[in-house]
Amino acid sequence: MTSSNPKFELRGINHLALVCADMKRTIDFYTGILGMPLIKTLDLPGGLGQHFFFDCGNGNTVAFFWLADSPDAAPGIAAPKGRPDEGELASAIGSMNHVAFAVPPEKFDEYRARLEAAGVEVSRILNHDDSPQGVSKDVHAGTFVRSFYFQDPDGVLLEFACWTREFTEADVAHEPRTAADRKTPSAS
């Protein structure tokens, strides 16, 4: 998939910075289980914490802060409480909902099995399509991406995804919603 940006020559994601509770446990998961090489480590000035970078392919990185004064996790606010296949998708405006890593379609099923074998709880496979349900049991001509979800030790929602077809102009067909369209939380 390629895209042309006439305003800026963007080359992907340099890094996505997340926050963890335990840097050693994060290294164990991202390097030990997902195989991402740890490529840069920093101690932040003044005892603030640490900032570590993992190579996630094609020059892109996922980074983690360990901050000495981070508040506790806030599932359902800062990130989803669980996985989409469990009906959990909501997170607050400005939050990071999930990170989707691109994987080769021919390795998709193998990678899911490897994570399961490593003891990682994974979702069912979702064949995303344009049906009213948004997913189908089987891959068909309308399926545009296959994915499954799992969480890291801090509850960060992760996804392995592979595109299944090229996009066309017909794939951009929805009127964007505005802040006025939001459901306001009910007062308790």
Q: Which residues pair with 65 in a beta bridge?
A: 19, 51
Domain annotation for the chain: domains and CATH numbers: 1-70 (3.10.180.10), 98-171 (3.10.180.10)
Whole-model pTM: value is 0.85
pLDDT band at 101 (very low <50, low <70, confident <90, very high): very high
Q: CA 50, CA 18: separation in Å to the nearest integer? A: 12
Q: What is the dihedral of CA 79, 83, 85, 88, to 10 degrees?
A: -40
- The pLDDT tens digits of the residues spanning 115-151 come to 999 999 999 999 999 888 888 889 998 899 999 999 9
Is residue 86's pLDDT more than 80?
yes
Q: CA 77, CA 94: separation in Å to the nearest integer? A: 10
Q: CA 121, CA 57: separation in Å to the nearest integer? A: 23
Query: Does residue 65 contact residue 19 with C-beta atoms inside 8 Å?
Result: yes
Q: Which of 156, 138, 141 is nearest to 101 (CA)?
A: 156
Q: CA 52, CA 26: separation in Å to the nearest integer? A: 10
Burial 121-152 (b: 16+ CB within 10 A, else e): ebbebbbbbeeeeebeeeeeeebebbbbbbbb
